[in-house]
Amino acid sequence: MRTGDRWLAFGLKPMVFGLCLAPFLWLVWDTFADGLGPNPVEAITHRTGDWTLRLLLLTLAVTPVRRLTGWQLPMRFRRMLGLFAFFYAVLHFLTWIWLDQEFQWTAALADVVKRPYITLGFGALLMLVPLAVTSTRGWMLRLGGNWKRLHRLVYVIATAGVVHYLWLVKADYRDPVLYGIALGVLLAARLLRPKPFTQKPAAMRSVQARGAAS
């Protein structure tokens, strides 16, 4: 990454952080300002679920964007996006276990076993934990090649998130289908592996130009 880009990333980090935190602050505001409608628990569950999925998909979009365009800058924010996805997933789970299930662990566990969409959501949350824990540079170095293999789980998690959403809607399938299409495109970009964008070093370019001129 060029020095200019490094400074840009440094300057943009607080902005990206603020943008990722904004839905949470908005939720807190609406909670206290009575802005959550007639069923506040449902509204919180939906908003936190939506943001978990959006941030998961954004995290997944970073590598294909770099591969297709050579743009390195978003790579600097990938970890933050992933950790915010985890943050909203934990909030989503807390809303359910606290406000919906009132910490009745036995009943909650029965729900996890009985309702397939909850089983999937719960599985996705459990899979996110090792990814969040090992997202640091230290773990990246410690795990070596296994780090990449482990972090491919994010595709399974996002798929589980989309199916979880598809499973729980009763009538209007438009939103989960749109998320599914976005995930399909990202998966295809991953599987088809477009040729990485490479910038030829200036020295090589001038040698080639001289060769063409002679």
Please state, in angstroms and rounded to a whole number, the distance separating the CA atoms of residues 148 and 146. Answer: 5
Residue type, 57: L
* Residue of 27, 44, 52, 81 interacting with ligand HEM (CB under 6 A): 52
DSSP 153: H
**Judged by CB under 6 A, which stretch of 2-10, 25-33, 46-54, 62-70 contacts ligand HEM?**
46-54
Report the residue from 62, 157, 183, 186 that binds ligand HEM according to the rule CB under 6 A. Answer: 157
50 binds ligand HEM per the rule CB under 6 A: yes
Minimum distance between the CB of residue 103 and ligand HEM, rounded to whole angstroms? 13
Cα distances (Å, whole numbers) of residue 13 to 2, 23, 58, 131: 16, 17, 15, 21
Interface with ligand HEM, residue 59, by CB under 6 A? no
Place of tokens 């294909």: 64
Measured from the Cβ of residue 133, the count of other Cβ atoms closer than 10 Å reads 10
Answer yes or no whether residue 51 interacts with ligand HEM by CB under 6 A. no
DSSP structural state of residue 199? P
Query: Cα–Cα distances in Å, from 83 out to 22, 57, 78, 89, 180?
Result: 15, 13, 9, 10, 21
For residues 5 and 72, is the Cβ–Cβ distance under 8 A? yes
With respect to ligand HEM, which residue has the nearer C-beta, 5 or 180? Answer: 180
**Is there binding between residue 30 and ligand HEM (CB under 6 A)?**
no
Q: Which of 92, 151, 183, 186 binds ligand HEM (CB under 6 A)?
A: 92
Instruction: Provide the binding-site residues for ligand HEM, judged by CB under 6 A.
Output: 42, 45-46, 49-50, 52-53, 89, 92-93, 96, 118, 121-122, 124-125, 128, 157, 161, 164-165, 168
